[in-house]
Amino acid sequence: MSDEDTHKAEMKKLQAEQRRKTSEATDPDRGLVLVHTGDGKGKSSSAFGVIIRALGWGHKVGVVQFIKGKWITGERQFFDQLGTVDWHTMGDGFTWDTQDKAQDIAAAVAAFDKASAMMTSGDYDLLVLDEINIALRYDYLSVDTVLDGLKARSNRTSVVLTGRDAKPALCDYADLVSEMREVKHPFKAGIKAQRGIDF
């Protein structure tokens, strides 16, 4: 058998297996829970890509940001220009900037209250809870509170939760968990964050 024939036979076998898996898959009739975590860059960026995909299908999308505060970012400016994303930046900034645990806890609780109202409203196809894993990491929110909120969400609503150090219980509950791994980072070479690349 020639290399071409061997390749064709292997691809036909893969195709048949993929078609079998696809035919056996079912629609859950509910939104999914996605966790983007890990020490590498791209967790929020990936979530914003999911937003673009959802908007392409005419879905109703909301964002609640937990940590980033009033930091001006390209994604926020872009979605503000579109006027199609219900966006709430509710954090007070990075934890090392605020240096006030009570304030950080109050901000996280207020942000999750907003997120919970949005999750249960039935008005959204997709919600992104940006950097919520950081609020969980520092115990500004309990994982049980977040899980209860996710379980109470409308069946219509999918949720993406971003940030490093996602809690194991959250990962266990999620339908999809993606971990970004840092291989190389320009900041470690003394290169500051770049507009349009990092924010």
Question: Structural domains in the chain?
Answer: 31-189 (3.40.50.300)
pTM higher than 0.85, yes or no?
Answer: yes
| Three-state secondary structure call for residue 185 | coil
Do 63 and 128 contact (CB within 8 A), yes or no? yes
Q: In sequence order, what are the residues at sequence separation of 6 or more whose Cβ sits closer than 8 angstroms to the Cβ of residue 141?
A: 108, 109, 112, 132, 135
Question: Which pLDDT belongs to residue 101?
Answer: 86
Answer whether residue 113 shows pLDDT above 60.
Answer: yes
Q: What pLDDT sits at residue 187? A: 83
pLDDT score, position 50: 98
Report pLDDT digits (tens) over 142-169.
Answer: 999 999 999 999 999 999 999 999 999 9
Q: Closest by alpha carbon to 162, among 72, 63, 73, 95?
A: 63
Sequence-distant contacts of 184-187: CB under 8 A, at least 24 apart: 185/41
pLDDT band at 92 (very low <50, low <70, confident <90, very high): low
Q: Are 43 and 37 in contact (CB under 8 A)?
A: yes
Environment class of residue 94 by beta-carbon count within 10 Å: exposed (0-12), middle (13-18) or buried (19+)? middle
